[in-house]
Structure 1
């Protein structure tokens, strides 16, 4: 059995190859379909011991389409190109974050 190469892993889905734009769009659609509230967060570091990321604007309470969410990701990326950016999904019934995944890494690109 072969082990994975030693490298930093980030958030949910981090052990998979980088998500394509279509896969990211489907993940955002899943968040919306489940009734979760999407939000965008960014941070200069993705150190696992850093528990607080800065939220980009307010959560997208009224978002109805993936394009609304991805447009905000692009705006955040334009303003903070050297930061990690992730999308999170909040459950307003359980009052907690249900999922999150990285959509932009400094030096790499997505959306």
Structure 2
């Protein structure tokens, strides 16, 4: 069946080639007057379909948010252990990062840069294969002591 349909297609191709419509050429548009609306009001502005009302910007005043646990209030050691155990249980790799100031600040320049507080410094290496939350807390305490 496959062979017969290929043969049929090969025979039909020459008949279709002679049925192409002739090129007529370009038509002049000078006979069609163009009218433009006056540019007044908001109707001339581009629109995204009215979805602007549902978009919001992350509030920048009074709300500091960085990585997974850094935006939380200060946690007790017991609560921190529970959070780390949850991370490990979900297969995430613990990684300790720190910042001396802990928030975004642009003191010397108004444009964003590497040293404006958006990037934190990693403490040692990510703790690949770590299955003990107490080990992560111990590393965090060591980092606190150092800095």
Equivalent position to 1:66, from 106, 122, 133: 133
Structure 2 residue runs without a partner (length 5+)? 1-60, 105-115
Distance 1:17 1:76, change over 3 A: closer
User: Which of the pair has the greater relative contact order for Cα pairs under 8 Å at 6+ separation?
Assistant: 1
Q: Deviations over 1:59-107 (max 9, x none)?
A: 0002111011011001101100xxxxxxxxxxxxxxxxxxxxxxxxxxx
Instruction: Return closer, same or farther for 1:16/1:59 CA change in 2, 3 Å cut-off.
Output: closer
Residues 1:47 and 1:15: Cα distance change in structure 2 (over 3 Å): closer
Distance 1:20 1:8, change over 3 A: same
Contact (CA 8 Å) 2:64, 2:103: kept in 1 or not? no
Q: Which structure has the highest strand share of the two?
A: 1
Q: 2:123 aligns with which of 56, 62, 68?
A: 56
Larger Cα-atom Rg = 2
Deviation at 1:23, TM superposition (A): 1.1
Of stretches 46-55 and 67-76 in structure 1, the one that deviates more from structure 2 is 46-55
Calculate the TM-score normalised by the size of structure 2. 0.44
Higher helix proportion, which one?
2
CA distance in 1, matches of 2:86, 2:144: 22
Out of 16, 25, 30, the residue aligned to residue 81 of structure 2 is 25
